[in-house]
A and B are shown apart, each in its own frame.
Chain A
Amino acid sequence: MNHVTIAASEKAFEQLFKAVRDNFTVAKSDSANFGPFSASYAIQLHLAGGSIQLNNDGTIEIKTVDVVFDVLKVQICFDLPGFCIPSFCIIPDPWNGCLVGFPGFCIGGPVCLPLDLSGLVSEINDIKARLNPKYFVDPGRLPTWSDLDAEFAGKPNQWQIYIDPDWVSVDPIDIPASVGNMVENALRNAINNLFPGWLPGWAKDLIWAFLGPLLGVLKGVLGFLDSFEDFLQDLLGNQFDILGFIETAVADYLASKYPIYQFEDPYPILPQDGLLIPVKIPLRNLTATVNTNEMIVLADVG
């Protein structure tokens, strides 16, 4: 029989998981050129919610964890196809020339559409994991140090128990249909910025009529067939592989960054008492597993 047994109910385990979950945050930004257009993004996210199920085969299933994008900003840049409105005479001069004329102008060139989708929520639909105890030796610990030297130097060895995922599955980012209006407005603003300042309103109306529906313009330039939200979902999820990044970041975090349970080894059972050194016991053969009822940690006193 093992010398030490510690068990935590599923309810207690959920509290441990919440602490791990709430400490997670990650940020990333990137940009890429996709031929007809280029795009960049910046994200920062944290996790919330979720449910835990412990299984008799030693696995932990974590479901429906919200991925909350505190920051999700995308910018898409492309060259608006150029076209020109030639000059023409509005009030001709009956003797010679033109009394009032329209000088003509050309628009087109680089346009960038900034989209701020911060606050969007995606979901980790499933994490399947097992507990994995690791023995951590502080890299700053000198080989000549005793365990007590290491403790006094703030670099004690540690047992660390991680939730080690077999897989993490993140749902595609659910881009709302309203993003279509957002991008239309962004494009309208961008094109408005291309107009010369002297351009009268009626001329602008004329140009807007010429351009037709703006999403149609975007379809032509960016080359998507269906909705803009599908295009954006594909851009973020597949082209930039944000989903893969989140899956990797969560898996890496759980497996090696934030243990669900850690303690010093040797473990101090009596504190320092004046000049008397603390009394510490080495814990060996540590195992950690779960069943449907609880998490069980076993160890021997070395």
Chain B
Amino acid sequence: MAFTDHCDLYAAVHEEGANRLIQHLMLQRPSMFNYATADVAANKELWCEQVKFTDDVPKYGNPIFTVLPPLPVIGVDSPPVGLSYCVQLQKFELDFHPNNIFGLPPELDPLKEQHFALHFLVCGALACPDDRVLEQIPVLPPETNKERPEKVPPVHVPGKLQCFCLRVFVVGHFERAFILSKETLLGKVDGVEIVDIKPGELENSIECYIRTAVTMTLRQKLAIPLATFFVSFPLFGMGTVILTPTTNPPIPNNPAIEEDQLKAFITMTVI
């Protein structure tokens, strides 16, 4: 059977290639996978894991970490106090159906047809200040604080980071979507599972956060224009043809996830 029996253009990426692609992404855009407050980002010793990146990243002044504001301490405003932290995403593995690269937790197993599974580690730490540091923070009189609350600078307290790692499993599928006026392949999250967190409500809350983060990252940062997926095949942009995703029938799933690959099909109409 030919690749183009029912279409004019066909493109497929095997999961091995997709995993190498993720590695390149992590090396060239590390700030998409590493988040921390400025003090942690600036100090390698505080990172949960050392970060690999290409020479071009520092050469072109790209950040290793996305720097975020300190985590506010609740109930504290005279002055406000913020804690340092670090969150790093690592060891990504992508598995297109059938599931044969890593095992899934029972909640997500078996992987449905036309679905992908993603596995990664979320490692993080909250900087825990010792009592001595906290005692050195002056207490401001409430009156002063009420008159000019906006002028009270937050106190960013240092602390010791104790890193933990969570194993995260995501399952999802791909859809076509118009994003920024371009036909794109968009990953959609169908389920998230974090192993070994109790109580269940805490697990659900963290899973909800991760589901939201993955969904929005896929939508905002990793939606792949069809032309890119087809490695800028020259028919894209050629004025004499119209390219449209092949419909069902004859192609039941477009994009399709099968045989360990993500596939897309295009039909061409000559003007």
Which residue numbers of A lie inside 8 Å of B, CB to CB? 1-9, 11-12, 15-16, 18-19, 146, 148, 260-263, 267-270, 275-277, 279-283, 291, 293-294, 296-297, 300-302
Contact = CB atoms under 8 A, between A and B. Distances in A.
Interface of A is mostly: strand
A12 B9 contact: yes
B3 A15 contact: no
B3 A269 contact: no
Interface residues of B, number: 46
A7 to B, nearest CB: 4
Nearest to A262: B234
Q: Which of A9, A16, A267, A297 has the most CB of B within 10 A?
A: A9
B235 interface: yes
Given A261-B233, A263-B232, A291-B2, A1 B21 contact: no
Contacts, number: 129
A200 to B, nearest CB: 64
Interface string B1-14: 01111011111111
A275 B57 CA distance: 10
B52 to A, nearest CB: 15
Given A9-B7, A275-B61, A3 B17 contact: yes
Nearest to B60: A277
9 contacts: A1-B16, A2-B14, A3-B16, A12-B8, A19-B238, A261-B234, A267-B231, A275-B60, A293-B2
B111 to A, nearest CB: 19
Given A3-B13, A9-B9, A280-B28, 13 more contacts: A1-B16, A2-B14, A4-B11, A4-B12, A4-B14, A4-B17, A8-B235, A9-B2, A15-B241, A263-B232, A277-B60, A293-B4, A301-B16
B31 interface: yes
B167 interface: no
A119 to B, nearest CB: 25
Contacts of B24: 279-282, 301
A282 B28 CA distance: 12
A283 to B, nearest CB: 8
Contacts of A297: 231
Nearest to A18: B240
B255 to A, nearest CB: 14
